[in-house]
Structure 1
Amino acid sequence: MAMKTQAILVATDPVYAHWLSEALGGGVEMHLVRSLASMPEVGRIGLAFVEVDPENPGTGAQQVDQLLARHPDVPVFAVGAESSSEAVLTAVRAGARDYFVLNKDNDNLAGLVGKVLRRSSTGARGNDQARLYSLVSAAPSDGVAFLGGHLALALADRAPPGERVLLIDLASPVGASLVYFNVNQTYTLLDALHDVYRCDQTLIDTAFSRHESGLYVLSLSEETLGFPSLDQQSVIALLETLRLHFGAIVFAVDAHMAVPTLSAVISQSTRSLLVTDQSILRSRQNKTLLQDLGVEACALDRTGLVIEHYRSRLGLTADNLAELLGLPVYSTLGGQPASRIQAMNAGESLFSLAPRDAYARGVLDLTDRLERSGEAGDLLPAAGSGWASRLFAG
């Protein structure tokens, strides 16, 4: 006779026990308790359910947290009389793997629980970590988030089926990527840093914002005043966790981030792009940033320059900047300023609004070179017969 999975249900209403037992079938033995203080001795617990009241989700979420503290390896699910976005998000942030509604998930409850259990047993993707491209600037610039968004969109467009791409926007102006690409966000980067040790696939699917293309976006809120102080350990832990769940991540940041934290991010990156323009002022600012990174013993062998607003006969040339900053030039991005402003104001990418603009074509070319070059050595030249060239042929 097969052994039954032992399940704990923390709830005040026994109707949940009857419902779950019926929905999950005879393979699960349900044990109803009204509080964690009265947990029965049932041997190895395989599942747990906690009632989360939509009117007061904090109490149930606290029980989820306490249950996981005692049994960290047990998948915990939230159940409630009805669904609400606040209840779902509160439960998931506390560590619940999913949220089921009484008498509304009857047909697929067993399948959903099985799916989450399989996801839990499969675990993380091991050493198969996301490619991490960091975009850095010593000075605030609307171009960092704009470039980060376009690079992320290009990566998402060429990603194989099932591979997901994430844009993390920590650049100034705060929350710019949300405006530039018309993304509505309720779960912010600060929320993710707060939940760093509970961030899993369920939280990502439930809380992270998505662009209409499917690109995931995690940004500071537009309403953030000033730039928040970020704990280096939390930032790095979040990046390490997210790299297990995405195929590629674009991390856009400027010098508001503390240099030691920035150094740690660059050290983890597949490639880093120092964003500059042709002005003396910004070049000096970036030179100072590079010197500060050197003090932190930050390796810059996978770092190159991206020069925005580039004009061949105006300001410092690409060769001048490469010599001044001691870095190879990865890309020079020109294009029409009017098209760029129009795209920003419309909340659309240049790929859709002005696909033949030199900026859009330059980002596609850069994406192709980054993806084909990997971590070592110089960037490979653009593939003349590649996808970017074919896109604009004729």
Structure 2
Amino acid sequence: MQTRPMLYSINRPELGVDLPFYSSDEKRAKHVATRLRHMANVHWVDTRDIGGTGEPVHLPGSPLVLLDYSLMQAEHSSMLARRLIDGTPGVSLLAVGSLGNDKAGVVLAAMRAGVNEFLDIDAKDEDISELLARMNCEVRSPAATPAPVPRSRGRLVLLLGVRAGMGTSTLAAHLGSLASSEKSPAKGAPSDAAGVQVLLLDLGRPAGDAALYLSLPNEFHYENALKSARRIDATLISTAFSTHDGRLSVLSQTAGTLEKPADTAELPVLLDRLRLHFDLLLTDVGGLPVSEVPLPLLREADEIWLVVDQSIGAMMSLDAILRQLDARAMRDARLSLVVNRHDPNDGVTAAQIASRFNLPLLALLPERSRALRGSANQGQLLHQTSPRDLYVRALKGLLGRLQVADASTNERAWWKKLIDRKGR
């Protein structure tokens, strides 16, 4: 039987806003209460009093709840957030933590758990007060913000070409088009059925190449989406994002730009919104050094595919990228190797490259530059002009890797991956 949590009032009761703070650390609760003493009456809920391990937690009404997202409490709070969401539809969750000293990973963990907003305990009083007022207003006026239809979060796959010219944008364009074709809604499904949605996030170099290969206009850019991150919804996506054959959505940087993709505080918000609306985010960051790849992309990626060819320059670039990932503690089990333009007569084999760099070999794509160039010059992709081409057939294995699990298993698989990754 679930134990009823106890409330411990730890600051002035005369303030109008009452907020429960869920944490197992009383000192942390007192610190938060003191910090918010002029804005809210904080009650400490000792999470050690909450029984069970995975059952939903039921609360009366649709309350606003504070969760402890200090470094030591983040993982436990994420698990509790899931239980609160399951047990109390409409609950509003506000993570409380610090953004100092590069704690962006805590923010990402909160967003992955379904937390609505993040309160930086070190922010200015007026910023904290504004956030609390807005969240409290939303709780009091639930009709103004209808609850979204529950769905699994989309997978994020990074295609990281180790240097410019590896064919990463060409690969991304073909995979995105083929994946969206195979993942259309089932025959006989209602017209408003969501189906499986794919977004190609085109951030590689040269900028806008993937959109160019798809013959798409490039009007609403990645930079525009960052500025509008909190407004991203189904309507904005359907009206502003470019689409290929009505299925694949594409978001690119401004074509020809030399600026690295912006990495602002809104990027985690943008990724969170996109992953709610798309089942797969296929992201081309080919040709970017690791230092220019936005950090939230590297942190949130479910898989990172390193695209190389058999040239000595590619081997040197691959070694450098692995060193950079290692320095950021991101050389982990998410990394796989895709050897492009493979020619068995080039001396070094794909298996030898994988063995040399201790990476799993995900795919071997044959040398088909002439055929790919020919289809591109016609304004088409290779599978549109030659559906049985060796390159197209070699993509089948990668398409299988991009399959999205059904909603009943996706969240469980994600939690297993998260726990495994933290363990490593």
CA distance in 1, matches of 2:387, 2:279: 25
Query: Residue deviations 1:309-330, cap 9 Å, x none?
Result: 1111214211221122221110
Distance of aligned partners of 1:193 and 1:124 in 2 relative to their CA distance in 1, 3 Å threshold? farther
**Deviations 1:124-156, CA, capped at 9 Å, x for gaps:** 646x11021110023112611111111111221
Task: State the distance in 1 between where 2:250 and 2:232 align.
Answer: 15
Report the counterpart of residue 345 of structure 1 in structure 2.
Answer: 377
Instruction: Measure the CA separation in 1 of the matches of 2:344 and 2:172.
Output: 23
2:156 to 107, 119, 132: 132
The aligned residue for residue 201 of structure 1 is 234
Q: In the alignment, does 2:381 pair up with 1:314?
A: no
After TM superposition, the structure 1 = structure 2 runs for residues 1-394 of structure 1, keeping only pairs within 5 Å, are 120-123=145-148, 125=150, 128-141=152-165, 143-161=167-185, 162-224=195-257, 226-228=258-260, 230-231=262-263, 233-256=265-288, 258-259=290-291, 261-262=293-294, 264-371=296-403
Q: What is the aligned residue count?
A: 266
Partners of 1:266 and 1:120 lie apart in 2 by: 32
Given the superposition, is the C-alpha separation of residues 119 and 153 from structure 1 closer, same or farther in structure 2, using an over 3 Å criterion? farther
Which AA in structure 2 matches 1:141?
Answer: G
Superposed displacement of residue 292, structure 1: 0.6
TM-score normalised to structure 2 length: 0.57
Tell me whether 233-242 or 253-262 shows the greater mean CA deviation: 253-262
Unaligned runs of 5+ residues in structure 1 are: 1-67, 75-116, 378-394
Assess if the C-alpha contact under 8 Å between 1:188 and 1:219 holds in 2: yes
Q: Any conservation in 2 of the 1:142–1:172 contact (CA below 8 Å)?
A: no
> For the residues of structure 2 that align with 1:357 and 1:119, how far apart are their CA atoms?
52
Matched residue type, 1:222:
A
Residues 136 and 273 in structure 1, CA contact (< 8 A), matched pair in contact too: yes
Q: Distance in 2 between matches of 1:70 and 1:183?
A: 42
% same residue: 28
Q: Is the 8 A contact 1:151 1:364 kept in 2?
A: no
Shift of 1:338: 1.6
3-state SS of paired residue (1:254): coil
Distance 1:133 1:193, change over 3 A: same
1:340-367: CA deviation from partner (whole Å, max 9, x where unpaired): 1012222211111111111111112211
Q: In terms of mean alpha carbon deviation, does 253-262 or 144-153 score higher?
A: 253-262
Distance (Å, rounded) in 1 between the aligned partners of 2:282 and 2:331: 19
Structure 1 Cα separation of the partners of residues 134 and 378 of structure 2: 49
Q: Contact 1:180/1:346 (CA < 8 Å) preserved in 2? A: no
Letter of the structure 2 residue corresponding to residue 155 of structure 1: A
In structure 2, C-alpha distance between the alignment counterparts of 1:153 and 1:306, rounded to whole Å? 18
1: CA distance between counterparts of 2:183 and 2:356? 35
1:21 counterpart residue number: none
Task: Measure the CA separation in 2 of the matches of 1:299 and 1:233.
Answer: 24
Distance 1:337 1:255, change over 3 A: closer
| CA apart distance, 1:70 | 8.8
In the alignment, structure 2 segments of 5+ residues that lack a partner are 1-130, 186-194, 406-412, 418-424
Cα drift, residue 211 of structure 1: 0.7
Q: How far apart, CA to CA, are the structure 2 residues paired with 1:119 and 1:360?
A: 48
Q: Distance in 1 between matches of 2:332 and 2:377?
A: 35
- SS at structure 1 position matched to 2:265: helix
CA distance in 2, matches of 1:142, 1:288: 15
Counterpart amino acid of residue 143 in structure 1: G
- What amino acid is the match of 1:351? H
User: Partner amino acid for 2:155?
Assistant: R
In 1, the alpha carbon distance for the partners of 2:254 and 2:313 equals 29
Which amino acid in the other structure matches residue 181 of structure 1?
Answer: L
**Match of 1:122, as an amino acid?**
A
Q: Name the CA distance, whole Å, in 2 between partners of 1:320 and 1:362.
A: 19
TM-score, normalising length: structure 1: 0.61
- Counterparts in 2 of 1:229 and 1:340: CA distance versus 1, 3 Å: closer
Following superposition, the deviation at residue 171 of structure 1 comes to 0.5
Distance (Å, rounded) in 2 between the aligned partners of 1:345 and 1:245: 33
Whichever residue aligns with residue 205 of structure 1, its letter is: S
Measured in 2, the distance between the counterparts of 1:343 and 1:119 equals: 49
Question: Displacement of 1:176 after TM fit?
Answer: 0.6
1:249 & 1:151 partners in 2: Cα distance?
A: 11
Q: Is the 8 A contact 2:253 2:261 kept in 1?
A: no
Distance 2:256 2:317 in 1: 27
